[in-house]
């Protein structure tokens, strides 16, 4: 690392001039002996490809009004005022038909 003689900050290589280092205070220095800029890159982990997103919603017994299948996933959303109950949504496991239950 090269430090600025004026303010003590770390000096960085100037992009448009080779062999010139600049500081955030504006100080420039060239002809630095035995200077070398290196960059260490860490190997990134591979991202696994997923063919289909898994639905984390719980599977419950609920009859689909469209196809008659008796298993559906459900989740809740606060669609009305905070003093009102949540709205429960269902999605059929077989045909993906979605409906809501207001309770």
- Nearest CA among 34, 25, 19 for reference residue 4: 25
**Helix/strand/coil for 73:** strand
User: Which residue in 16, 39, 51, 83 is the catalytic one?
Assistant: 83
User: Which residue in 46, 84, 86, 93 is the catalytic one?
Assistant: 84
Tally of CA atoms within 13 A in the half-sphere of 32 that contains its CB: 20
83 is catalytic: yes
86 is catalytic: no
Structure tokens at 89: 């949504």
Catalytic residue IDs: 83-84
């Amino acid at each position: 690392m090269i430090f600025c003689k004026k303010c003590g900050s770390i000096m960085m290589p100037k992009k448009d001039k080779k062999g010139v280092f600049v500081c955030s205070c504006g100080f420039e220095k060239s002809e630095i002996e035995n200077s070398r800029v290196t960059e260490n890159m860490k190997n990134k982990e591979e991202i696994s490809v997923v063919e289909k997103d898994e639905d984390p919603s719980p599977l419950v017994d609920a009859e689909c009004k469209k196809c008659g299948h008796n298993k559906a996933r459900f989740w809740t959303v606060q669609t009305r005022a905070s003093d009102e109950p949540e709205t429960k949504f269902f999605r059929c496991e077989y045909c993906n038909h979605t409906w809501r239950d207001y309770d």
